Chains A and B, each alone.
Chain A
Amino acid sequence: MAEKRISITINENGKITAKTDGIKGEMCLTELEEILGEEIPAMSVKKTDEYYQRINSGQKNIQKQGVGK
Chain B
Amino acid sequence: MSAVVQTLTPFIEKSCLLKALQYMEIRFSEQRDKILIQGETDTYFDRELSGKFKLTCYFYTSSVVTMLPQIEQKYIQFYKEHMKELEEKRMEAERARIENERMAYVEKQRQEIIKKAEAKGYKVKEKRNGSEIQLVLVKHTY
Mark A residues whose CB is within 8 Å of B.
1-14, 16, 31, 34-37, 39, 66-67
Contacts and interface: CB of A to CB of B under 8 A. Distances in A.
Interface of B: 101-102, 105-106, 109-110, 112-113, 116-117, 120, 122, 130-142
Contacts of B120: 31, 34-35
B22 to A, nearest CB: 45
B104 to A, nearest CB: 10
10 contacts: A3-B138, A3-B139, A5-B137, A6-B117, A7-B134, A8-B137, A10-B110, A13-B106, A34-B116, A67-B102
A11 B134 CA distance: 8
A36 B138 CA distance: 15
B113 A11 contact: no
Nearest to A11: B132
Nearest to B126: A8
A14 B139 contact: no
A3 B140 contact: yes
Given A3-B141, A6-B136, 11 more contacts: A2-B140, A3-B138, A5-B139, A6-B122, A6-B135, A10-B109, A10-B113, A10-B133, A31-B120, A35-B122, A37-B112
